[in-house]
Structure 1
Amino acid sequence: MKKNIIFVVNPISGDLDKSDLVNAVAEFATTNHFDLEVYETTGKNDIKEIQSLYKQYNPERIIVAGGDGTIKMVAEAMEQHDVIIGILPAGSANGLSVDLNLPPTIEENLKIAFLNHYIEMDMICINGKKSIHLSDIGINADLVKNYEESNLRGFWGYALQAYSTIKDLDEPFIATISANNQEVVHTARIIVIANSQRYGTGVTINPNGVMNDGKFELVILKSLDIFLLGKIITGNMPIDSDDIVIISTDKATIKTDYPVNFQIDGEYCGAQTDLEIHILHKQMKIAIP
């Protein structure tokens, strides 16, 4: 009996041409006797379209070619269904695939996505929106906003925006955080809400993060001078620093003294003063090496 696979591809993610990828997936499916149904995202009604395809084909897995945004969208579409999601990293932000240690080649990733075992991964709910990876309030969200509005992509795009973002810094914000039956107040430059360890650029921000432990971490960076930033970017996250506080919990609220830019998984979500956060334990099944 043939097994159905739905292949969701975001044609524009990461500014990459996907035709070779689509061909490779089709070939792999044929060789391994899968029936493949290809769906290209349009940015309109994708969730409903994917849900109706799921009802029609009842697939064993859904393979996603795109970045964190596309993966998250598919995970939301499949929230009520028991299906394994396989990832072919192909976005501008591939933080989740970096964290899952997915290999660099398409051949290896095809095997994992179609055939390998999986983990049941947590998601985080923030003000009703889902996060699979890393969200933050503060300077990095400024950077995401600036990056979205600029036309230079990739590492140098980020580096340039990082420099200009730090140059034009606002005052730090004051955050009142309730978690684990305690309330604390911190002056902060950025608070990262982390389900995992690394940004898509490979930068480790939450060294103790585990994606299926029923907890998330709030990583509070109180100051952000060039030295600390340099350490974080080069992968020497100084956990024992007075400038960094990490809180591990399954639910929390954050209130800020003025509206602060906020982003979820690399998508700018406006300026916020109140965040309500809780874990969605074992929310999605993801194929892993």
Structure 2
Amino acid sequence: MKKKVIFVVNPIAGGNDKAELVSAVQAYAESEDIAVVLYETNGEDDIAKIKALYAAHRPDRILVAGGDGTIKMVAEAVEKHDVILGILPAGSANGLSVDLNLPSSIPENLEIAFHGSHIDMDMISINGIRSMHLSDLGLNAQLVKNYEKGNTRGMIGYALNAFQTLSEQEGPFEVKIAANGTTIETTARMVVIANTQKYGTGVTINPSGIMDDGKFEIVILKNLDLLVFGKIITGNMPLDTGDVEIISTDKAVIHTETEVSFQIDGEYCGMLRKLDIHILPGQMKVAVPSAPPEN
């Protein structure tokens, strides 16, 4: 019987045309004598439809072309099955692909998606909602909110909304974090719940993040003046100062004194005051580049 893969495409992710990518996947699969079952998301019962496709075809791999939200949706659809997700970055928020060190060229990504080795990646439960990448309270969540309301997609959209967000940012907020048997109370500009290291822009916010270690990190940014912000966006997290504190744990409860903007994996979730968080170990098999041989 001919080998099959399911190929899930979000046609509107990132605001770009996916025709070239779809053609490249189909051509590669044909050269490998693999049948492609194409599914385009449309926002109507996508999870149920992907579940039905998996039940009908039982592939070893599902390829996903979209941003972090699309990947998370597919992972939820097949969470109880032994199937590897091959990521083809094609969204506005491609943070996971950055952390997986996926290459920029389509041919290299196809080789990994179809044949690469894999890791059993953790996910995080936040108030019962799954996060696979980076979620946060504060400044970046405001940026996500503004981006969703805007009309310009992709990195240009993020850049345009960054100016608006910085000009109207909410003030610092009081936060209480219970983790590892202790409670921390502090003032913060932003609190990140991180399973990985980088935002989709390539900015490293959690240098100690490992996607399959059974832990997540809480990154507390106490100060976000221009100097600290500049260090962060140039990849120089100011860990040697009192501006940033990182807690590694497998569960935590976060309370804020007032309601604060919150986002999960690039999707705005509203204004919240409490987050109940725990790790979900080994939830998703995801294809990764093969590690270079050790010397």
Shorter-chain TM-score: which interval? over 0.9
Percent identity reads: 62
In the alignment, what sits opposite 1:235?
235
Task: Name the amino acid aligned to 2:277.
Answer: I
Q: 1:106 to 1:261 in 2, by over 3 A?
A: same
Per-residue CA deviations over 1:93-117 (Å, capped at 9, x if unaligned) read 1000001000011001001000111
What corresponds to 1:171 in structure 2?
Answer: 171
Q: Is the 8 A contact 2:176 2:184 kept in 1?
A: yes
| More off after superposition, 150-159 vs 40-49 | 150-159
Give the TM-score normalised by the residue count of structure 1: 0.98
Aligned-partner Cα distance in 1 for 2:193–2:123:
11
Aligned counterparts of 1:89 and 1:53: Cα–Cα separation in 2: 22
3-state secondary structure, aligned to 2:160:
helix
Partner of 1:17: 17
Indicate if the aligned counterparts of 2:259 and 2:273 stay in contact, CA closer than 8 A: yes
Counterparts of 1:109 and 1:241 in 2: how far apart (Å)? 39
Q: Is the 8 A contact 2:262 2:271 kept in 1?
A: yes
1:270 aligns with 2:275: no
What does 1:69-218 align with in structure 2 at a 5 Å threshold? 69-218=69-218
2:19, 2:164 → 1: CA distance?
A: 36
Q: 1:283 to 1:207 in 2, by over 3 A?
A: same
Q: Deviations over 1:156-214 (max 9, x none)?
A: 43333223322223221111111001111111110000000000000000011000000
Decide whether the 8 Å contact of 2:60 with 2:82 is kept in 1. no
1:200-239 C-alpha deviation (Å, 9 max, x unpaired):
0000000110000000000000111011111101111111
The 3-state SS of whatever aligns with 1:73 is: helix
1:243 CA displacement:
0.9
CA distance in 2, matches of 1:224, 1:160: 19
Which runs of 5 or more structure 2 residues have no equivalent in the other structure? Answer: 290-295
Residue type of the alignment partner of 2:282: K
Following the alignment from structure 1 to structure 2, what is the Cα–Cα distance between the partners of residues 90 and 37? 18
CA distance in 1, matches of 2:43, 2:154: 22
Q: Give the secondary-structure state (helix, strand or coil) at the position aligned to 1:8.
A: strand
CA RMSD across the alignment: 1.0
**Unmatched tracts of structure 1, length 5 or more:** none
Identify the residue that residue 67 of structure 2 maps to in structure 1: 67
For the residue of structure 2 that corresponds to 1:176, the secondary structure is strand
Q: Conserved in 1, the CA contact under 8 Å of 2:15 and 2:154?
A: no
User: Does the 8 Å contact 2:92/2:155 carry over to 1?
Assistant: no
**Distance apart, 1:147 and its partner CA:** 1.4
Q: Residues 160 and 176 (structure 1 numbering): CA distance in 2 closer, same or farther, change over 3 Å?
A: same
**Shift, 1:150, TM fit:** 1.8
Where 1:282 maps in the other structure, the secondary structure is strand
Q: Residue 293 of structure 2 corresponds to which residue in structure 1? A: none
Please state whether the residue corresponding to 1:62 is helix, strand or coil: strand
What residue identity is the alignment partner of 1:42?
A: N
Distance in 2 between the 1:163 and 1:174 partners?
25
Tell me which residue corresponds to 2:50.
Answer: 50
**Larger displacement relative to structure 2 (160-169 or 236-245):** 160-169
Q: CA deviation at 1:92?
A: 0.6
Say if 2:288 is the partner of 1:288.
yes
Question: What number of residue pairs does the alignment pair up?
Answer: 289
Q: Which amino acid aligns with 2:73?
A: M
